[in-house]
Structure 1
Amino acid sequence: MPKGPQIDKHSHHIKQLPSATAFVNTELKVVYASDVWLKFFDLHPDDVFGKRIDYLFSSSKNKIVNTLIDILSEKTDKSFEECTYDPTSCKWLEWSCNPWFDNEGKSIGLIITVNDITQQKLNETNLKRLRSKLDIISEIGKIGSWDYNILQDSLVWCNVTRKIHEVPENFVPTIEDAIGFYKEGYSKNLISMALHEAMTNGTSWSEKLVIITAKGNEIWVQSNGTPTYEDGKLVALRGTFQNINDKVLSEAKTKANEKLLHTLIDHLPLNIYIKDRESRKILVNKAECKYLGIPDPSDILGKTNFDLYDSDIAKELNKEDQKVMDTLEPILNKQSNIRDKKGKITNFLVSKIPLIDENGQAAGIVGISHDITDLKQKEEKLRDLVDVASLQNKKLVNFAHIISHNLRSHTANFSMLLEFLVDEKDEKEKKNIIRMLTTASNNLMETLENLNEVVALNTNAGLERKPIKLSDKINVVTQNLTAFIHKNKATVINEVDEELKINVVPTYIESILINFITNAIKYKDPKRDPIVKLSTAQEKGKTILSVEDNGLGIDLKKYGDKLFGMYKTFHHHKDSRGIGLYITKNQIEAMKGQITVSSTVGTGTIFKIHFNDTI
Structure 2
Amino acid sequence: MKAAESIDQFYLLKQLPKATALLCKEGRLLDASCSWLELFNLPPQNGDLKTKVYNLFPENSELNKKLKENKPFTIQHKRAAANGTRYLKSYFSPWFDKEENVVGTIVQTDDITMEVEKDKKIKWLENVLETKVEVSKTGWWEFDVETETLTWCNETKRIHQVPENYTPTTSEAINFYKTGYSQNKVGMLFHRVKENQESYDTKLMLVTFQGQERWVHVTGKPIVKNGKVTKVFGTIKDIHEQEMAETRVKEHQQLLSTLIDSLPLNVYVKDLESRKMLVNKGECNYFGKTVGELIGKNDFDLYDEEIAKVSRQEDIEVMKHLTPIIGKETTSTLNGKTTYFLTSKIPHFDLEGKVCGLIGMSLDITSMKKKEEELHNLIDITSMQNQKLVSFAHIVSHNLRSHSANFSMLLGFLNSENDPKERQRIIDMLSQASDNLLETLGNLNQVVDINSNTSATKKKLNLKKNIVKVLQNFSAVLEKNDSKIINNVSEDIVVSCVPAYLDSIILNLVSNAVKYKSKNRSPLIIIDAIKSSEGILLSISDNGMGIDLNKYGDKIFGMYKTFHNRKDAKGFGLYLVRNQIEAMGGSITVQSEVDKGTTFNVYFNEDS
CA change 1:111–1:376 in 2 (3 A) is same
- Out of 559, 570, 587, which is 1:566 matched to? 559
The one-letter code matched in structure 1 to 2:205 is: L
Q: Is the 8 A contact 1:495 1:534 kept in 2?
A: yes
For 1:180 and 1:491, the matched residues in 2 are separated by 105
Whether 1:598 and 2:591 are equivalent positions in the alignment is yes
Identical counterparts, % of pairs? 28
CA change 1:196–1:478 in 2 (3 A) is closer
CA shift, 1:401, in A, is 2.4
CA shift, 1:546, in A, is 1.6
CA shift, 1:519, in A, is 3.3
For 1:464 and 1:134, the matched residues in 2 are separated by 91
Deviations 1:152-195 (A, max 9, x none): 9584534x556656778xx4332269859958866996699479
- Aligned equivalent of 2:464: 469
For 1:567 and 1:135, the matched residues in 2 are separated by 112
Deviations 1:219-240 (A, max 9, x none): 5252525356363553464423
TM-score (norm 2): 0.67
SS of the equivalent of 1:543 reads strand
Whether 1:220 and 2:214 are equivalent positions in the alignment is yes
Whether 1:404 and 2:401 are equivalent positions in the alignment is no
Q: Is the 8 A contact 2:57 2:77 kept in 1?
A: no
For 2:184 and 2:309, the matched residues in 1 are separated by 49
For 2:184 and 2:148, the matched residues in 1 are separated by 24
The one-letter code matched in structure 2 to 1:222 is: V
- Out of 427, 443, 452, which is 1:450 matched to? 443
For 2:186 and 2:577, the matched residues in 1 are separated by 96
Whether 1:611 and 2:599 are equivalent positions in the alignment is no
Q: Is the 8 A contact 1:567 1:579 kept in 2?
A: yes
For 2:167 and 2:480, the matched residues in 1 are separated by 124
CA change 1:370–1:176 in 2 (3 A) is farther
Q: How does 1:82-231 map to 2 (within 5 A)?
A: 93-98=86-91, 106=103, 111-114=108-111, 117=114, 121=117, 127-128=122-123, 130-141=125-136, 143-148=137-142, 150=144, 155=151, 157-158=153-154, 171-175=164-168, 179=173, 182=176, 193=187, 197=191, 200-201=194-195, 204=200, 206-212=202-208, 218=212, 220-222=214-216, 224-227=218-221, 229=223, 231=225
The one-letter code matched in structure 1 to 2:216 is: Q
- Aligned equivalent of 1:304: 294
- Out of 470, 476, 497, which is 2:490 matched to? 497
- Aligned equivalent of 2:26: none
- Long gaps (5+) in structure 2: 1-5, 24-28, 47-53
For 1:382 and 1:473, the matched residues in 2 are separated by 38
Number of residue-to-residue matches in the alignment: 560
CA shift, 1:400, in A, is 2.7
Q: How does 1:200-599 map to 2 (within 5 A)?
A: 200-201=194-195, 204=200, 206-212=202-208, 218=212, 220-222=214-216, 224-227=218-221, 229=223, 231=225, 232-235=228-231, 237-242=233-238, 244=240, 246-247=241-242, 250=245, 270=264, 279=276, 302-304=292-294, 323=315, 326=319, 329=324, 332=327, 358-360=351-353, 361=355, 365=359, 392-460=385-453, 465=459, 466-470=461-465, 472-473=468-469, 476=472, 479-483=475-479, 485-486=481-482, 492-497=485-490, 500-502=493-495, 504=497, 508-520=501-513, 522-523=515-516, 531-540=524-533, 542-550=535-543, 553-554=546-547, 556=549, 559-571=552-564, 574-599=567-592
SS of the equivalent of 1:469 reads helix
Q: Is the 8 A contact 1:227 1:237 kept in 2?
A: yes
CA change 1:352–1:577 in 2 (3 A) is same
Q: Is the 8 A contact 1:71 1:78 kept in 2?
A: no
TM-score (norm 1): 0.67
Deviations 1:35-63 (A, max 9, x none): xx99xx9xxxxx999489xxxxxxxxx99
SS of the equivalent of 2:409 reads helix
Q: Is the 8 A contact 1:4 1:108 kept in 2?
A: no
Q: Is the 8 A contact 2:90 2:109 kept in 1?
A: yes
SS of the equivalent of 2:557 reads coil
CA shift, 1:506, in A, is 5.3
Q: Is the 8 A contact 2:456 2:498 kept in 1?
A: no
CA change 1:576–1:7 in 2 (3 A) is farther
CA shift, 1:408, in A, is 0.9
